[in-house]
Structure 1
Amino acid sequence: MSNEMIVIGGGIGGLTAAAFLAKDGFNVTVLEASNEWGGCAGKFARGQYLFPVGATLGMGFEEDGVHSLLFKELGIAAPSHFLLPTVMDIHFPNKTVHYYKDRSLFLEELTKHFPHLDRKLKPFYEEIWEIGAEVKKLMVNLPVLPAKTMSEWLLLIKSIRLQSVKLLPYLNQTFSSLLRKYELNDEKEFVALLDSQLIDSMQTTSYNCSAIIGAFALTIYHEGAFYLEGGLFEIAHSLTKAIEDHGGKLIKRAKVTSITKQNLKYEVVDQRNRSWSADHVICNLPIPNLAQLLEQSLLKKLSNSYQRKTDASHWGTMTLYLAIKEEVIPHDTPLFQQVLQGELHEMSEGNHLFLSLSKYGDTKRSPAGTRTLTVSTHTNLDHWRSKENYDQYKEALSRKMMEGVKKALPSIEEGMIHFIEGAPRAWERFTGRQQGMVGGFAQTKENALFNSLSHRTGIPNLWTCGDSVFPGAGTISVSISGYHVYRSIKTQIKRP
């Protein structure tokens, strides 16, 4: 049986694939370039303080959530977590909106801040949530898009219900078409509220976002958002333990430099000229990174859909990591917040911030009496290409971000212990992602659903998982992509 598996990249997607493969008895080796597991959901430490690399919510830990179901199938406990009744606060220059999990409370909150939209909000969100509910039902069996094999088509057909036809009118629509339907597209602050959610989960705004995927993303917030003790990297720690418990190998500081193939075997070589032979290679990498590793003969064999995406643009991020004294944090401060700055309601370059604050008493993150805070904004990587302007731009953007942070935590500078800047080059060094790109492809009509990239690269036994392939970015999506790879390998090897 062909069962030697190499997983390149120790992000959540790759670790998920490795954990399931190891559990099924395959010989699995995970190669991670850095000294940490988790990729963009990893961590780093400065003295006694531990910082999650990205400022993100925990999703999918409700009873029927993706993480809960996958951890249950692996036979391991999910990391310690608790539900957030208030998902986050969203700060506008003139108001603060509480984003409640409870849908009725959320609609009441929106009506309070947008009273002139009273009659439009409920029917608009009811349609959004109806779309989201149908998508969730379709996802019960975790079907693959775009389906490439008979087994994938059969699973997709099996997942479709009679009510699924409700989704057909939205298939080729953007989210903005839903806004126009209810005459909400010119309500700039309300659209900004939606865009602040979509940019973090879908990497694009309502104007370009796929209607179906955007509606599902907004529905998930009301399924449950969670705080994980320590941070999202605890997902990676749970998965690495599962891999080791089933005999898998985990190797850090193994930066892969090439993937070649001779006969039916792949050879993977790292920066120390160590090599591994494998029947299957699973790449938990962005597509541009993957393209750099493949020998020319393999690169030419990538599917056309992959070929078109090897030079596609991605977002970058600028992130601030702060350690602060507990005394400067008001007692009712939510753990997750967004800050919107500027009159044009842009969603990048410090105009939109996502803040993730450690919980009181979470000593995995910081000593008693202190907290850690991660603050991020999307940034166009073109702004960082010039060596001459890099430091100047970083300084200006950092100042702008801190002005926004002070709108959420006015006294923060009085309690500052650590202040660390993470610009795109730092992200590139830490994650190995080309130019510091994050978040995968924007979930526009051109990149979402049937236009997504499959985990099948077009090259036999070379697979991809992570945020470049279906379903996209976020720990839920990359976990599903890793599970798709596992399921495909298992099905292929079982085939006579």
Structure 2
Amino acid sequence: MSHEVVVVGGGIGGLTVAALLAARGTDVCVLERQSQVGGCVTNFETFEYQFEPTMGLYTCWGSGEAHQRIFSELPVEAPEARAVDQPVTRLSDGSEVAFASSNYVFEERLRQSFPECSEAAIEFYRQLSKIAEPLLQALRRVPDLPTASQRQRMYAFAPRVDRVRQLRRLKKRILDEELKNTSQRFREFIELQLRVFTAARLDDSAYLPSCALLHSVQQGLFAIRGGAANLAERLAESIQQSGGKVRLNSSVLRLSYDPSGKATGVDLLSGENLIATKAIVSNMTVWDTYGKLIGLQRTPPEIKKVLGGLSSPGAYLIHAGIDEDAANSLRSNHFLIANDSAQATEELIDPSRIGVAIAPEWDPRAPEGKRAATIMFSADVSQWFTFHSDVEEQEAKDQAALETGWAALHKRMPELGNAIEVIDTANPLTCYETTRRKLGMVGGIGLSPGLLEGQQLNHRTTLPNVFMVGDTVFPGAGIGAVSLGAFAVANEIAPR
């Protein structure tokens, strides 16, 4: 059997590429190893709860932004997305900082929250906005910015083409360098956002993509009814309505090649060979695209070196149910929480940074009188993938992580009291079992400076007819960024 385009993986990136291509008349087939689409954003459902595996906050849903443009091409309606109250950050000293989309209001809050460095904090955000606004505009116009021609870059930044030179000068700068005149408390405020949304750290986050993320968080975020899993389902429906195919329970082993070394299709675990006459799109991680799909023997040494220097953390999630009344009494449905950094020891999870996401009142995803909540921690994948002698040892590790995380949560949010209860947990092993991502790493590559290396971590691979999309290639982590990357791939394969 053959198709023009074969997409390996039914995550948001793969589904978005396939939906756009199918709507443009391309014969496309998506191969997903699981029994449902969604990949890392698939909801966990149990006891009438639906838990999102993320913070449930999304960018690029505003007027004229990526998702509106995507669904303007598709035969289905976009899922309902609403602007939500912005998250509240709770610093390790107990103080809270609330965001505001109004720059004037936000600057006043910065003055009140960080009197020790208020002017430096305000100036940091002013400079950040000056960079982020034209950068985000450019990405909307030309999603494949790192590989774009000089003419395309000029168009992307028009009429302020001088921004191209300015951003080129900032390309190798690290975010940490821009915070040297601010206090430790303000740095903690910034790192909280990076850690919770992208699993990145200050000292390993490129300045330019960090500007885009921090600006988006401050300007406002959206929640999707049913979560990102609903987005995945709409995209799959669109593919099928446009004549494309979505094949579930279809595990891909590797690419197939002709005698000249050209990729001709994919070999499935079932023994079937599926031909791709035009292109193959991998929605696997960059590690698995080269290590499993393309094959290490066909991966150039320079790519192996880059990949060897990249890593990503895992996540430990506590799925909980919270009483409706208790949820309504909180200042926000989303909290970014810092504990004393001294607690970040050799634990299975890092309790020093916590993300709390509670389903909105208009979409509780829970039995009556309750709301679904996900509590997120970063996890050291190496500790979860050491040799296990039996299942009991794995369960003991999960229980130890749960006790550490639950204690950290109640220490920093004592107002929850008995109004919240544990429903289930998920750890890096769980993620690996459901997604087959290397070592269960779900943090993408954060805001790594490698994202800006135009010839390495973008949508193109070393094979001319094989492309990548997802959170481990440019533009990086987050549904909005992945969707922009999918636009770039679709436009290269089948320009409008």
One fold, TM greater than 0.5? yes
In 2, Cα distance between the equivalents of 1:104 and 1:75? Answer: 41
Deviation at 1:46, TM superposition (A): 0.7
Q: 1:278 is matched with which residue?
A: 276
Question: Alpha carbons of 1:408 and 1:77: their partners in 2 closer, same or farther (altered >3 Å)?
Answer: farther
Superposed CA deviations along residues 361-385 of structure 1, whole A, max 9, x for unmatched, are: 425x122211111111112212223
Please tell me whether residue 430 in structure 1 is matched to residue 434 in structure 2.
yes
Q: 1:259 is matched with which residue?
A: 255
Deviation at 1:358, TM superposition (A): 0.8
Q: 2:322 is matched with which residue?
A: 324
In 1, Cα distance between the equivalents of 2:315 and 2:192? Answer: 15
Q: 2:351 is matched with which residue?
A: 350
Question: Alpha carbons of 1:405 and 1:102: their partners in 2 closer, same or farther (altered >3 Å)?
Answer: farther
In 2, Cα distance between the equivalents of 1:205 and 1:466? Answer: 20
Superposed CA deviations along residues 343-366 of structure 1, whole A, max 9, x for unmatched, are: 448697121111111112425x12
In 2, Cα distance between the equivalents of 1:76 and 1:213? Answer: 31
1:221 partner SS: helix
Q: 2:339 is matched with which residue?
A: 341
TM-score, length-normalised on structure 1?
0.89
In 2, Cα distance between the equivalents of 1:90 and 1:140? Answer: 33
1:349 partner SS: strand
Deviation at 1:457, TM superposition (A): 0.8
Superposed CA deviations along residues 418-462 of structure 1, whole A, max 9, x for unmatched, are: 521111100111122121011222323244354751211111211
Superposed CA deviations along residues 290-320 of structure 1, whole A, max 9, x for unmatched, are: 2343365xx4444555333444322111111
In 1, Cα distance between the equivalents of 2:405 and 2:255? Answer: 40
1:339 partner SS: strand
- The residue type paired with residue 294 of structure 1 is L
2:146 partner SS: coil
Superposed CA deviations along residues 196-234 of structure 1, whole A, max 9, x for unmatched, are: 112234432222211111112111123320121121222
Q: 1:484 is matched with which residue?
A: 488
Q: 1:475 aligns with which of 459, 476, 479?
A: 479
In 2, Cα distance between the equivalents of 1:35 and 1:88? Answer: 36
Q: 1:307 is matched with which residue?
A: 304
Q: 2:80 is matched with which residue?
A: 80
In 2, Cα distance between the equivalents of 1:459 and 1:64? Answer: 33
| Aligned positions, number | 481
- The residue type paired with residue 484 of structure 2 is I
Superposed CA deviations along residues 242-291 of structure 1, whole A, max 9, x for unmatched, are: 11110111112212122212266624233333432222211101122223
Q: 1:189 is matched with which residue?
A: 185
Asked whether the equivalents of residues 284 and 468 of structure 2 are also in contact (C-alpha less than 8 Å), the reply is yes
Question: Alpha carbons of 1:413 and 1:391: their partners in 2 closer, same or farther (altered >3 Å)?
Answer: farther
- 1:363-382 pair list within 5 angstroms: 365-382=365-382
Question: Alpha carbons of 1:123 and 1:6: their partners in 2 closer, same or farther (altered >3 Å)?
Answer: same
Superposed CA deviations along residues 161-198 of structure 1, whole A, max 9, x for unmatched, are: 33303324322211122112xx11xx222101101112
In 2, Cα distance between the equivalents of 1:418 and 1:85? Answer: 25
- 1:56-135 pair list within 5 angstroms: 56-74=56-74, 76-135=76-135
TM-score, length-normalised on structure 2?
0.89
Deviation at 1:56, TM superposition (A): 3.5
Question: Alpha carbons of 1:11 and 1:69: their partners in 2 closer, same or farther (altered >3 Å)?
Answer: same
Q: 1:10 is matched with which residue?
A: 10
- The residue type paired with residue 306 of structure 1 is I
In 2, Cα distance between the equivalents of 1:487 and 1:54? Answer: 28
- The residue type paired with residue 130 of structure 2 is E
In 2, Cα distance between the equivalents of 1:76 and 1:20? Answer: 12
1:222 partner SS: helix
Asked whether the equivalents of residues 8 and 282 of structure 2 are also in contact (C-alpha less than 8 Å), the reply is yes
Please tell me whether residue 269 in structure 1 is matched to residue 267 in structure 2.
yes
- The residue type paired with residue 314 of structure 1 is S
Asked whether the equivalents of residues 263 and 463 of structure 2 are also in contact (C-alpha less than 8 Å), the reply is no
Asked whether the equivalents of residues 31 and 250 of structure 2 are also in contact (C-alpha less than 8 Å), the reply is yes
Asked whether the equivalents of residues 452 and 471 of structure 1 are also in contact (C-alpha less than 8 Å), the reply is no
Please tell me whether residue 287 in structure 1 is matched to residue 291 in structure 2.
no
Question: Alpha carbons of 1:451 and 1:221: their partners in 2 closer, same or farther (altered >3 Å)?
Answer: farther
Deviation at 1:408, TM superposition (A): 5.8
Deviation at 1:64, TM superposition (A): 2.9
1:146 partner SS: helix
Question: Alpha carbons of 1:100 and 1:474: their partners in 2 closer, same or farther (altered >3 Å)?
Answer: same
Question: Alpha carbons of 1:371 and 1:227: their partners in 2 closer, same or farther (altered >3 Å)?
Answer: same
**Higher deviation after alignment, 84-93 or 171-180:** 84-93
Aligned CA RMSD, in angstroms, stands at 2.6
Q: 1:232 is matched with which residue?
A: 228
In 2, Cα distance between the equivalents of 1:453 and 1:295? Answer: 15
Asked whether the equivalents of residues 303 and 459 of structure 1 are also in contact (C-alpha less than 8 Å), the reply is no
Q: 1:42 is matched with which residue?
A: 42
Asked whether the equivalents of residues 91 and 189 of structure 2 are also in contact (C-alpha less than 8 Å), the reply is no
- The residue type paired with residue 360 of structure 1 is E
In 1, Cα distance between the equivalents of 2:35 and 2:90? Answer: 35
- The residue type paired with residue 361 of structure 2 is Y
Deviation at 1:136, TM superposition (A): 1.8
Deviation at 1:417, TM superposition (A): 5.5
Unaligned runs of 5+ in 2: none
Asked whether the equivalents of residues 48 and 367 of structure 2 are also in contact (C-alpha less than 8 Å), the reply is yes
Question: Alpha carbons of 1:336 and 1:449: their partners in 2 closer, same or farther (altered >3 Å)?
Answer: farther
Asked whether the equivalents of residues 143 and 159 of structure 1 are also in contact (C-alpha less than 8 Å), the reply is no
Q: 1:383 is matched with which residue?
A: 383
Asked whether the equivalents of residues 131 and 212 of structure 1 are also in contact (C-alpha less than 8 Å), the reply is yes
- The residue type paired with residue 158 of structure 1 is Y
Asked whether the equivalents of residues 358 and 373 of structure 1 are also in contact (C-alpha less than 8 Å), the reply is yes
- 1:153-168 pair list within 5 angstroms: 153-160=150-157, 161-164=160-163, 165-168=165-168
2:5 partner SS: strand
- The residue type paired with residue 480 of structure 1 is L
In 2, Cα distance between the equivalents of 1:423 and 1:79? Answer: 28
Asked whether the equivalents of residues 55 and 356 of structure 1 are also in contact (C-alpha less than 8 Å), the reply is yes
**Higher deviation after alignment, 122-131 or 167-176:** 167-176
Deviation at 1:54, TM superposition (A): 2.2
In 2, Cα distance between the equivalents of 1:490 and 1:319? Answer: 39
**Higher deviation after alignment, 104-113 or 208-217:** 104-113
Asked whether the equivalents of residues 175 and 206 of structure 1 are also in contact (C-alpha less than 8 Å), the reply is yes
